[in-house]
Amino acid sequence: MQETLIKNDPDGMLERVTALPDQIREAIKICSEMRLSKNLLERKFTNVVLCGMGGSAITGDIVASLLSRELLVPFSVVRNYHLPEYVGKGTLLILVSYSGNTEETISCMMEGITRNSGIFAISSGGGLMEICNDKQLDHQMIPKGWPPRTAVGYLVIPVLKVLSILGLSRTPPDEMAEEFIPLLEDIRNLYLSGSESILKNIACDMQERLLIVYSPPELAPAARRWMCQINENSKMLAHWGTIPEMNHNELVGWCDDPLFNNYYLVFLSHQNIEQRIAKRIELSSELIRARNVPSTVLSLPGQNTAQALMTGLYMGDILSLYLASAREIDPSPVKAIDRLKNALAKSE
């Protein structure tokens, strides 16, 4: 199976994707030395806003889900050039850009500085780091050399750490990570050994179809991540949503859309799911299967929501590589994004 996964992978995307458990451990070590300025330590924050795009923005979704039962203030994610009006002096503004040069994130940073928000930035360098150095703002440096979509461990842990230091969450990141790192290592060993074929079968069945993945709200970052990784690694469109929300709109499309033969459906689930949502997944699956739509209900490994979320993210990454391999394409290049960035640069 490992040979199948690494076919047409000259830049080593497989190695980068499957390094997630090791990356999280390294990020914990890096962040053990985190020291915040008095400017942050002496403030009383009333809300947290995380700004980012793409593989950096998913950081905020993951953190919000991991800390959903212990965050002591509202937490929101901004994927835009501008901040909400409520962002101000009482806001901890976390800017996440792996490269440090994401223009939307830098735009939000400058607005946050103007509004006297508490600034904490995470990057491997670039403009974010330069602005922080110039204005003596808090910045966490992370290792260079990774495609942003493969750096999720380096990005999530610093956010968890700063929230913990500031007393906005209760569980230190190292304690939280130890709940799911061994499970991620088990999944890596299982799939790379070739002893598990669920994801490979899904990839084979859906390589000429549009994947639509739904999850309960607590696993929404995993569903979104599946879409994004299939977009970038597999070079295909995909769609994600949540249930029960899809029961109030998209279900009608599933039962009446004339193009239903072009889709492949996955419901993500876990053992601690709300029972009414579990029943909705069961009944929705039956309605959709009646139209002979290929579908799978995938129960994610894990004894709790955090474990299910992280294993769901990881398995989506692996699936995207199976799909790229099945389509015989290199998962690493993102030529369309590169072309757009070049065109934007010329238009300035």
Domain that holds residue 148: 2-178
Q: Reply yes or no on whether 179 is catalytic.
A: no
In a domain, 299, yes or no: yes
pLDDT in tens, 97-113: 999 999 999 999 999 99
Q: What is the mean pLDDT of residues 77-96?
A: 98
Task: Determine the Cα–Cα distance for residues 61 and 58; give it in Å rounded to an integer.
Answer: 5
Average pLDDT, the chain: 95
- pTM strictly above 0.85: yes
Catalytic residue, chosen from 29, 135, 144, 341, is 341
174 and 201 share a domain?
Answer: no
pLDDT in tens, 215-254: 999 999 999 999 999 999 999 999 999 999 999 999 999 9
Question: What is the share, in percent, of the chain residues with pLDDT greater than 90?
Answer: 91
Q: Reply yes or no on whether 232 is catalytic.
A: yes
Question: What is the share, in percent, of the chain residues with pLDDT greater than 70?
Answer: 98
In a domain, 128, yes or no: yes
C-alpha to C-alpha distances, 261 to 82, 137, 211, nearest whole angstrom: 40, 53, 12
170 and 308 share a domain?
Answer: no
Q: Reply yes or no on whether 139 is catalytic.
A: no
Catalytic residue, chosen from 139, 161, 200, 232, is 232
Catalytic residue, chosen from 3, 38, 42, 248, is 248
pLDDT in tens, 142-154: 999 999 999 999 9
Q: What is the mean pLDDT of residues 27-54?
A: 97
pLDDT in tens, 185-222: 999 998 887 767 889 899 999 988 999 999 999 999 99
pLDDT, residue 2, reads: 46
Task: Determine the Cα–Cα distance for residues 55 and 75; give it in Å rounded to an integer.
Answer: 18
Structural domain count, the chain: 2
- CATH code, domain with 91: 3.40.50.10490
Please report which confidence band the pLDDT of residue 6 belongs to, taking 50, 70 and 90 as the band edges: low
28 and 172 share a domain?
Answer: yes
Task: Determine the Cα–Cα distance for residues 72 and 246; give it in Å rounded to an integer.
Answer: 29
208 and 298 share a domain?
Answer: yes
